[in-house]
Structure 1
Amino acid sequence: MLVGPEGLELREDVWLGVSLVGPNVRYPDHRHLPEETYLVMSPGDFRQGRNEWVHVANGETFYNPKSIVHAMRSSDRPLLVFWALKE
């Protein structure tokens, strides 16, 4: 987390960060109240609830409405994403 309640800049209204997921790793299902948008810097797969996985390419975005269960996973290459959550 770069900006947010535990970030380098302390804020409550917006959270900004980066995640690097190693090859062939599934980031677990989770949910949070703020809505969230990912900016995908390397290809990966994203899922909401029990829906099918969606492949997202470099430079594309993926949106999660507030409180929805969601997850992401990498392929044989690491997955790098920037993320933003807004209260």
Structure 2
Amino acid sequence: MDDEYREREISGMTVGIDRTLCIGSGNCTNLAPEVFVIDQENIVDFQDETPDIDAGRLEEATAICPVDALILTDENGEQIVP
């Protein structure tokens, strides 16, 4: 897995993390702690196991990132966030 960009399919959507942009605000972890975690480097990462969650909550958790480090695309590859 690339240290700078990580991607995972969750709830039928693809979530990407650009770790070069992350500032560790933790907003995403507050809204979706079962998906996101702040690691030892103070950068967001995926939990080891990421269950499907409500699509609206997943969209909100990615959209709240203040530096657009989280990318959300739908099942057709259309970018939703940012």
Q: With structure 2 as the length reference, what TM-score do the two structures score?
A: 0.30
Computing the radius of gyration from Cα coordinates, the structure with the larger value is 1
Give the structure with the higher percent strand: 1
Give the structure with the higher percent helix: 2
Q: With structure 1 as the length reference, what TM-score do the two structures score?
A: 0.29
